[in-house]
Amino acid sequence: MRKMTVIDSHTAGEPTRCVLAGMPESVFRKSAGALAERVERLKREHDGLRRAILCEPRGSDVLVGAYLLEPDEPDCAAAVVFFNNAGYLGMCGHGTIGVAVTLAYLDRIAAGTHRLQTPVGVVQVHLKDTHTVTVENVPAYRYKTGARVSLPGGNAVTGDVAWGGNWFFLAQNHGRRLALDNVEELTEYAWEIRTQLAAQDITGANGAEIDHIELFSPPLDAANHSRNFVLCPGKAYDRSPCGTGTSAKLACLIADGKITPGEAWRQEGILGTVFEGRARVENDMVHPSITGSAYITAEATLLFDREDPFQNGIGA
């Protein structure tokens, strides 16, 4: 029977499942190739594991997974490949905070600054205490301003397209109420935007699919600057304010002159939890950093019984 060791955590309400052991050696070992090659191998040869780890009956659509692998970049505490119910993520802000808190729980890192390798580049984590982490993300940028998306029924929505480690469509004037008791409507609306972005060939750079939709409104808590709702690629909404989404937002705010480098931006998510973002600008590049807190929720061994009809996840 295959066994995998995992540690679960949540960051601002959004769960992360770190896979520590039990993945194929051809993915885990740096001797098996550069991280990009190992990610391709995961997609090509071991994609069933992703569903088995994350989807029902072992997991749920809400979970984000993080394979902790041997890094092939120097001085990194680990390489991390994030995945969800639909596929693989370039980066994941809440997940990186969860990974840092998990590594601290395992005594693999101490308070201070550490490097983590991700498929989109090396990020830094500053572990302040057992729960609080600042992630220095990969550079973020706005790619399109005021992209107009036609929606069924003759309606339209306008938003920016920005990169924050994943591709986002960011919309402010959508007329929707961003509240927990309205997530079904928000999910359907954001999914329609995503579908129409693809249908109308509105993409990120090099034709990249925009697979995260981020809606904004004024905050409920006056201590914050904004509230958001983020729909992830597999149609689950982010319970946290979304680290890569907040990074994309920071790039837009800097581009519009709405914040200055170093100024704090308190992004409230749909649960009311907050990420504090700041942007550093160097050589015209926006370097976002995101601070948030994570908590360990479980330490477990996943078992995959060959006789279990759902050993590879429901729907696999």
Count CB neighbours of 90 within 10 A: 19
How far apart are CB 224 and ligand PYC at their closest, in Å?
A: 17
| Residues catalogued as catalytic | 92, 242
Give contact residues for ligand PYC (rule: CB under 6 A). Answer: 14, 64, 92-94, 232, 238, 240, 242-244
| Closest residue by Cα to residue 141 from 215, 249, 265, 231 | 249
50: Cα within 13 Å, side-chain hemisphere: 22
- DSSP annotation of 30 reads G
Instruction: Give the length of the chain.
Output: 316
How far apart are CB 89 and ligand PYC at their closest, in Å?
A: 6
1: burial class by Cβ within 10 Å (0-12, 13-18, 19+)?
A: exposed
Select 95 or 159, whichever has its Cβ closest to ligand PYC.
Answer: 95
Select 10 or 94, whichever has its Cβ closest to ligand PYC.
Answer: 94
Concatenated DSSP letters for 119-187? TTEEEEEEE-SSSEEEEEPSPBEEEEEEEEEEEGGGEEEEEEEEESSSEEEEES-------GGGHHHHH
How far apart are CB 33 and ligand PYC at their closest, in Å?
A: 26
Select 202 or 248, whichever has its Cβ closest to ligand PYC.
Answer: 248
How far apart are CB 253 and ligand PYC at their closest, in Å?
A: 17
Select 15 or 71, whichever has its Cβ closest to ligand PYC.
Answer: 15
